[in-house]
Structure 1
Amino acid sequence: MIIHHLALENSVLNKFLAEIRDTAIQKDAMRFRRNIERIGEILSYELSKTLHFEDTEVQTPLGVKNTSEFTDTIVLCSIMRAGLPLHQGILNYFDAAENAFISAYRHHPDGKDNFDVVVNYLAAPSIESKTLILADPMLATGRTLENVKEALKSHGTPKQIHIVAVIGSEEGIEFIKDVFPENTHLWIADIDKELNSKGYIIPGLGDSGDLSYGGKL
């Protein structure tokens, strides 16, 4: 897996990361969603540099300009509900992308810390020979992405996979290295070292879905 850890270099990205982690600022749900969206835009810009481009011409009012455009057919798949703001940020830059949505959640069968990841909804186009972008804001254990990859098998085999995440754990990243092809790109804003007993990233930021859209039963 090819890992792109963007927070290692100083940029405005680190300001957005600080704000989504800050317990005082993250109480503003609209600001939290917008910051996730902006992080998605930054990650998308960096991802775009690895796509395939071809030369083209653009007719302006005063002449012709030689330029280049990427030729990849992109399918953007996000995990509901936490992935929706990140999805929008990516879609802002890849506005012609086809879209897929999948519902994956943690099921605690015995009410304790152990959990299974359950996928119970998928709406997706064919991903055969296309560029697949998987958007999941919090890459904690990596098991959700494993289940999403399995669920998408019936929709074809992509020519390239990009995973876009806001914050991940070292453990989760090590896990998905064995799940996805070696040439998979991981575009991640920041990486934290630990998971707690419930599988949440430490220090992380809390529950991204709840911070974006409110608590759930």
Structure 2
Amino acid sequence: MIKDNRWNGVYSFEDSPYLMEILTELRSKETENIKFRKGLVKLGRYMGYEFTRTMDFKKTRIETPLEKTDGVASGDRDHVFIITVLRVAIPLMEGLIKTLEHARVGIVSASRGKAPDFEIEMNYIKVPRIKEEDTLIISDPMIATGSTLLKTITEIKKCGNPKRIVIIGVLAAPEGITAIKEEFPDVEIYVTKIDRELNDKGYILPGLGDAGDRAFGEPINISLLPMMHNLE
């Protein structure tokens, strides 16, 4: 895990040859849907494991068959809340839950409009109640302009004040990170790699294309219901 000195609280995993190998396969235009989804699951699982290094754990005293000894028990890992930004974040979330198995899960449906305005349409929010001890993780593979995440954070903050707000993604553009940190400086960001820049259509370069389409196929656009807030 590498701290990026351009911002506070921004980290990448560019020091991991294993993750760079998976990312290379995801970038390739020859990688088909199933391999793409499996790659996102692998990234989520490994990044979730690495993220636990930043969490608080409890010390405990146990007794082995031979003697008493000190050990470690779950602390923050018992209080994780993952927000999944539909639709491409689903396999990334699947990987995260393999490590953060106690996590509660919320769903946000949001779509970004075309350049140059990149207006965000948010149609659906369904989240469990947020608690003060929660580590809130927003799972979104592509941090491009940052506009979707800015809207998501704004709406989620209306539902409670967690201990930490963290974004876990695959790729980020410097423009998106800067936009998020300017509005929400305390939000932490963890990505596999920080890419070079955005193009004029708001895609990350070199990037990996439209991650949603590559994971699940190109969708047929249909009309959506007005935005709903549903707190469980």
Which residue of 4, 25, 35 corresponds with 2:11?
Answer: 4
Q: 1:174 to 1:181 in 2, by over 3 A?
A: closer
Unaligned runs of 5+ residues in structure 1 are: none
- Distance in 1, Cα, partners of 2:68 & 2:216: 47
Give deviations 1:118-161, integer Å, cap 9, x for gaps: 11101101223111001100000001110001111221011111
- Distance in 1, Cα, partners of 2:124 & 2:162: 20
Deviation of 1:63 (Å): 6.6
Tell me the SS of whatever aligns to 1:206: coil
Are residues 1:123 and 2:126 paired? yes
Tell me the SS of whatever aligns to 1:49: helix
Which residue of 163, 168, 180 corresponds with 1:176?
Answer: 180
Seq. identity, %:
34
Match of 1:80 in 2: 86
Tell me the SS of whatever aligns to 1:12: helix
Unaligned runs of 5+ residues in structure 2 are: 1-7, 221-232
Q: CA contact under 8 A between 2:118 and 2:147: conserved in structure 1?
A: no
Match of 1:135 in 2: 139
Deviation of 1:42 (Å): 1.5
Q: CA contact under 8 A between 1:75 and 1:97: conserved in structure 2?
A: yes
Match of 2:59 in 1: 55
Deviation of 1:45 (Å): 1.3
Q: What TM-score, normalized by structure 1, do the two folds share?
A: 0.90
Q: CA contact under 8 A between 1:36 and 1:85: conserved in structure 2?
A: yes
- Letter matched to residue 179 of structure 2: F
Match of 1:152 in 2: 156
Which residue of 36, 40, 46 corresponds with 1:42?
Answer: 46
- RMSD over aligned Cα, in angstroms? 1.7
- Letter matched to residue 19 of structure 1: E
Which residue of 185, 189, 199 corresponds with 1:186?
Answer: 189
Match of 1:207 in 2: 210
User: Where do residues 101-120 of structure 1 align in structure 2 (5 Å cutoff)?
Assistant: 101-108=107-114, 113-120=116-123
- Letter matched to residue 91 of structure 2: P
Q: What TM-score, normalized by structure 2, do the two folds share?
A: 0.85
Q: CA contact under 8 A between 2:172 and 2:191: conserved in structure 1?
A: yes
